[in-house]
């Protein structure tokens, strides 16, 4: 396996396409967190039209990752997606409802400490 890092030309379009085509892998971590955080896979899948990348980490440990903000029926949540361009899929790493004290009012930017 090569360590060459491949970034998508348009990360948001890549993530959206993979989710729409169900080319999404659900990590053990996200599966453990969804129930506790009252977020369902269905919420993540149904809210794809509202995805916004709010943070990018192209140098993340295993694969480039992108923090996505979305809403489902007025519930705002974030999903961290790792993108695997070579295998043409995304991995849902974690999902959570952002804490108001840590994020600005629209949950798009972290508050400064």
Length of the chain measured in residues: 113
- pLDDT higher than 90, residue 89: yes
Token couple for 78: 């974030």
Residue 47's region, left for phi above 0, alpha for psi from -120 to 50, else beta, is alpha
* Gyration radius of the chain over CA positions: 14
pLDDT for 57: 97
CA distance 37 to 39: 6
pLDDT in tens, 32-54: 999 899 999 999 999 999 999 99
- pLDDT higher than 60, residue 85: yes
The distance from CA 47 to its chain's CA centroid, rounded to whole angstroms, is: 12
The sign of the dihedral angle between the CA atoms of 83, 88, 90, 91 is negative
Please give the average per-residue pLDDT across 12-41, as a whole number. Answer: 96
pTM of the model: 0.94
Structural contact between residues 4 and 79, judged by C-beta atoms closer than 8 angstroms: no
pLDDT for 113: 76
Structural domain boundaries of the chain?
11-96
Q: For residue 2, what pLDDT band results from cuts at 50, 70 and 90?
A: very low
Closest CA to 7 of 53, 89, 51, 64: 64
């Amino acid at each position: 396996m090569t360590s060459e890092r491949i970034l998508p030309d348009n990360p948001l379009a890549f993530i959206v396409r993979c989710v729409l085509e169900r080319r999404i892998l659900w990590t053990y971590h996200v599966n453990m967190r969804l129930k506790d955080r009252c977020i369902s896979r269905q919420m993540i899948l149904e809210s794809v039209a509202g995805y916004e990348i709010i943070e990018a980490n192209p140098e993340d440990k295993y694969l480039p990752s992108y923090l996505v903000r979305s809403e489902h029926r007025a519930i705002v949540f974030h999903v961290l997606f790792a993108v695997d361009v070579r295998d043409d899929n995304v991995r849902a790493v974690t999902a959570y409802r952002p804490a108001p004290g840590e994020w600005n009012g629209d949950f798009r930017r972290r508050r400064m400490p």
